[in-house]
């Protein structure tokens, strides 16, 4: 009798749980938004994740429910919990990944280092925040943003007029999140896994390189990360995981400032792009670790298999020359690079796969990963 994990959402994160599930012997079931998605192989159901009955019916066949994304409405999550379903992460944790204003307030409460921020409900409040923060700040919609969407750098309060107008139309009203524009030297990410029974395991802190608001490249571990930095990052992630009762994988996106502080940027309560390197570069991948954690099984060793690993996203360009031909060209030129694809049709800017490489010398590993990824430009 194998353990059964139900994943809500059929995207690439659900897909990447398939391999470790098969290897370990966990039965994975996926509730996909539509047929033919990335995780189609394990998609036992197709349905609307905003419909409580649909998700409840799906949940009845599994031991635990977890997620490919953080968009399942709180009402649906609570319906699951009320019906006695094990949900990891639970609604009280996911709330903070779903609403950036609640997240900022909670992190203040936990004493976590973060950018100066404010909830601004009109142009006047935003202008005041601009005036206090150098005249140039970040504005975010508290909900629904990802990969650079719902994030805007503004120099004048009028630049957020459309978002305020949308808020005003919303019966619930609400505010935007304004954040200081952090003077950072680089971005980092710290992953931690936490089981319902409390065990936590941190991965090495990594450096993430963004282009156009999308993660382009990850270096693991983060180069030039001294003990003070790695300890601080691990402390922040563990404090948040415990403080928010996160179960499963948590990714904490961090800014490293020019004055050598770390500040929390975003949270993700699921496997995360910053941890794709672990598939080939760590003893226990983030996908296996997430499955173990949500099943409350003992966590695996997150240690790297090699001194350096590098992950580069493949952002699908024009569909000239199938992915297959480019794939073969990359394989022949870079036999040690691990190319992962998501079964998605290429489209400009769309994440359709990634390349992992590992080795003893960072320069060589970067060269290998970039070389292989360049075939997909």
Tell whether residue 339 is a contact of a copy of itself (CB under 8 A): yes
Tell whether residue 375 is a contact of a copy of itself (CB under 8 A): no
Minimum Å gap between C-beta 283 and a copy of itself is: 5
Q: Yes or no: say if 247 and 196 are a contact pair by the CB < 8 Å rule.
A: yes
Tell whether residue 327 is a contact of a copy of itself (CB under 8 A): yes
**What is the DSSP secondary-structure string of 213-277?**
TEEEEEEESPTT--HHHHHHHHHHHHHHHHHTT--EEEEEEEEEETTS-EEEEEEESS--GGGTT
Please say which residue, 181 or 329, places its beta carbon nearer to a copy of itself.
Answer: 329
Tell whether residue 283 is a contact of a copy of itself (CB under 8 A): yes
Q: Which span sits near a copy of itself by CB under 8 A: 143-151, 220-228, 256-264, 290-298?
A: 290-298
Please say which residue, 103 or 220, places its beta carbon nearer to a copy of itself.
Answer: 220
3-state secondary structure (DSSP) of residue 54: helix
Binding residue for a copy of itself (CB under 8 A) from 1, 169, 170, 172? 1
Backbone Cα Rg of the chain: 21
Please say which residue, 23 or 162, places its beta carbon nearer to a copy of itself.
Answer: 23
Site pattern 234..253 for a copy of itself (x: CB under 8 A): --------------------
- Distance (Å, whole) CA 261 – CA 253: 13
Q: Yes or no: say if 29 and 62 are a contact pair by the CB < 8 Å rule.
A: yes
Tell whether residue 353 is a contact of a copy of itself (CB under 8 A): yes
> Does the bond joining 221 to the residue before it have cis omega, within 30 degrees of 0?
yes
Q: Yes or no: say if 354 and 320 are a contact pair by the CB < 8 Å rule.
A: no
CB hemisphere CA count around 48 (13 angstroms): 4
Tell whether residue 310 is a contact of a copy of itself (CB under 8 A): no
> Does the bond joining 89 to the residue before it have cis omega, within 30 degrees of 0?
yes
Tell whether residue 312 is a contact of a copy of itself (CB under 8 A): no
- Distance (Å, whole) CA 8 – CA 68: 6
- Distance (Å, whole) CA 41 – CA 49: 19
Q: Do the bridges between strand 206-211 and strand 214-220 make them parallel or antiparallel, or are there none, so unpaired?
A: antiparallel
Tokens of 45: 């159901």
Tell whether residue 194 is a contact of a copy of itself (CB under 8 A): no
β-partners of residue 118 are 178
Tell whether residue 301 is a contact of a copy of itself (CB under 8 A): yes
Minimum Å gap between C-beta 15 and a copy of itself is: 6
- Distance (Å, whole) CA 303 – CA 252: 18
- Distance (Å, whole) CA 233 – CA 239: 10
Minimum Å gap between C-beta 291 and a copy of itself is: 12
Binding residue for a copy of itself (CB under 8 A) from 111, 198, 298, 349? 298
Four-point Cα dihedral 45, 48, 52, 55, nearest 10: 20
Distance between terminal CA atoms of the chain? Answer: 45
Minimum Å gap between C-beta 21 and a copy of itself is: 9
Tell whether residue 361 is a contact of a copy of itself (CB under 8 A): no
Tell whether residue 24 is a contact of a copy of itself (CB under 8 A): yes
Tell whether residue 340 is a contact of a copy of itself (CB under 8 A): yes
Minimum Å gap between C-beta 105 and a copy of itself is: 36
Tell whether residue 20 is a contact of a copy of itself (CB under 8 A): yes
Binding to a copy of itself, residues 36-75 (CB under 8 A): 41-42
Binding site for a copy of itself (CB under 8 A): 1-3, 15-16, 18-20, 22-25, 41-42, 279-280, 283-284, 292, 297-301, 303, 305-306, 322-324, 327-328, 331-332, 335-336, 338-343, 353, 358
């Amino acid at each position: 009798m194998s353990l059964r994990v139900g994943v809500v959402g059929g995207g690439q994160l659900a897909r990447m749980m398939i391999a470790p599930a098969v290897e370990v012997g966990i039965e994975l079931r996926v509730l996909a938004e539509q047929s033919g998605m990335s995780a189609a192989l394990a998609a036992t159901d197709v349905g609307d994740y905003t419909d409580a009955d649909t998700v409840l019916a799906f949940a009845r066949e599994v031991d635990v429910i977890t997620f490919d994304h953080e968009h399942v409405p709180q009402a649906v999550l609570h319906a699951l919990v009320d019906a006695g379903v094990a949900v990891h992460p639970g609604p009280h944790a996911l709330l903070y990944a779903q609403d950036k204003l609640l997240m900022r307030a909670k992190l203040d409460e936990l004493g976590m280092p973060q950018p100066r921020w404010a909830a601004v409900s009109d142009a006047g409040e935003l202008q005041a925040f601009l005036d206090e923060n150098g005249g140039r700040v970040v504005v975010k919609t508290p909900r629904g943003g990802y990969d650079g969407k719902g994030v805007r750098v503004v120099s004048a309060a009028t630049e957020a007029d459309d978002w305020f107008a949308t808020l005003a139309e919303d019966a619930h009203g609400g505010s935007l999140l304004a954040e200081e524009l952090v003077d950072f030297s680089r971005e980092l990410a710290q992953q931690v896994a936490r089981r319902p029974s409390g065990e936590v395991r941190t991965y090495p802190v990594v450096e993430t390189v963004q282009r156009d608001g999308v993660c382009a490249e990850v270096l693991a571990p983060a180069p030039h990360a001294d003990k003070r930095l790695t300890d601080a990052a691990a402390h922040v992630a563990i404090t948040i995981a415990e403080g928010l009762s996160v179960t499963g994988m948590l990714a904490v996106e961090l800014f490293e400032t020019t004055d050598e502080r770390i500040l929390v940027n975003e949270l993700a309560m699921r496997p995360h792009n910053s941890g794709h390197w672990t598939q080939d570069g760590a003893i226990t991948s983030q996908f296996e670790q997430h499955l173990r954690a949500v099943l409350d099984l003992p966590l695996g060793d997150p240690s790297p298999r090699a001194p350096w690993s590098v992950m580069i996203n493949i952002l699908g360009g024009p569909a000239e020359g199938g992915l297959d031909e480019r794939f073969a060209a990359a394989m022949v030129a870079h036999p040690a690079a691990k190319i992962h694809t998501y079964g998605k049709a290429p489209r400009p800017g769309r994440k359709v796969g990634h390349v992992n490489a590992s080795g003893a010398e960072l320069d060589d590993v970067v060269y290998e990963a970039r070389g292989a990824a360049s075939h997909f430009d």
